[in-house]
Structure 1
Amino acid sequence: MNFTHTRPGLKARAAHVALAMTGAATVLTLGVAAVTALPANAAGLASDVAAALKLRLPKTPVDALTCDTLGPWCEVVSGDTLFYIDETARYLFVGRLYDMEERRDVTAARLLELNPDLLAAGGARARSEQNETTSSVAPAKVDLASLPAEGAIRWGNPKGARLVVFSDFQCGYCQRLAGELVKAKVQVEERPISIFGAASRQLSETVLCAKDPTKALHAAYAGELEANGKSCAKAKALDANESFAKTNGFAGTPVIVRASDGAVLHGFRDAQTLRAFAAGEKGPRS
């Protein structure tokens, strides 16, 4: 059966889309500029999704849209932002997409392809390295001594072992990790980096410059904090965080560093693993 014959027509879909336009526009505003060249059936699906996106999210141009490589998700490129939407154009996902079989961060690799100079790319790394796991190109240990105190939000258990976390407040795995860090009862030194570009940087500045940065941090992860466009002197220290991440090849977030010896873990970990790692036990690097 040809899938294109069983999908609802655009008129029917548009009726459903119109009902949700107001709410969707508060999440992200997009228009449609281009659909990536695809085989006929995938191109038809992408065209339908593009049309639905234009109705739901009409204001920000979409530079590319493809629906043939990531299972039920379509990839949407808008400037230096990458996000995913399902084939019905109902559910929008902003965050890190991981390939569990190939053990790689699909989002980081794609961002590198789109912009080789992006922080997530690690700068001058060759494109042939895009499909390697983060652990194969980043060091097992780092020296934290060069990082300024002003670039961190300190929270958690002040009596616990200290973990330094490089994160992006728009990263879904970072949000999940924050909850596990609370359960692990460790002391956290969170250092924001701008994996998702300018929007992430503005949100990081809003958190760091807030009257109560810890409260602002958790509000950001909960989606309850908007970037206010205001900065402050200590926000300049975010440059050091990003330079450190780039120098050490941090190709995604979160990255967890044990303060006692600089040992590195990449990616989300549960509370039990975090407690063991903070206590000095070796953890998996992938």
Structure 2
Amino acid sequence: MFLQRMITGSILLVISLLVIKNGGALLLFSMCLFAVLTLSELFGMAKKDKTLYPMFSFILITLIFLLSYFEPTKLFWNNVLTAGLTLGLVCFYIVEVFLKKIFLPKSNFGLFLRFIIFVSLTFPFIYLIRDMRFGFFYLLFVSVLVWSGDIFAYFGGRKFGKHKLAPSLSPKKTIEGSISGFLGTLLLAWIFIWIFNLPFLIYSLGAVLISILGQLGDLHESLVKRTFQVKDSSNLLPGHGGIYDRVDSALLVMPMFYYFLLFFG
């Protein structure tokens, strides 16, 4: 299992780096594909038809992503209304984590709207960060910190974990693991700051934001899986589960880090 996880993870890492380095239409298409697959996984976990509104979903997600691609329509993401909606969405999911309750619409259409809003206000920001000046560096910075935070939390929890963080959401997560993830993220950020001579305070604050939101995103996915009584979002990636299992930590981070960069960058 561990070997399978390492092989799949290594392949994903190489592909991700190549796509991020290339940027442009390739990254946009990849994020659009991931968004559609994640939407399918969400419906699968909810035990709804994975092909519910398939063509409408694909067309809508494609149109939303195209708003990120063309210069005139990029203004859609940089106005107060969209920023407020995105912040509100992130805060809503954080509230769900603390309440340990997912607010699910009863109708299929309501569920579809909840899921489509989630993928539409998270995935495009990965492309938007890459499209910024110094975007490759920014996306590399945030991606490395998110992924390494998960790794530090995992091994820190295995080595030192004694006190449960949120046993009703994720029995294996510990407070010690969470602290290890936070400190590991901050340490790596300081290495970036030292190597690239970056503003210490701004990038340290960015690392704190990344670590906290990354862990909350991870807990929110645990809440979703507990609500739907599934172990993984799918079995698409051997040893890793599904797409949502791999990007859960990043999805709350990317929108807020984008606006963080707009404000402080």
TM-score by length of 1: 0.28
User: Taking CA–CA contacts closer than 8 Å with sequence separation of 6 or more, which of the two structures ends up with the larger relative contact order?
Assistant: 2
TM-score by length of 2: 0.30
Q: Hey, which of these two has a bigger chunk of strand by percent? A: 1
Q: Hey, which of these two has a bigger chunk of helix by percent? A: 2
Q: Report the structure number with the largest CA radius of gyration.
A: 1
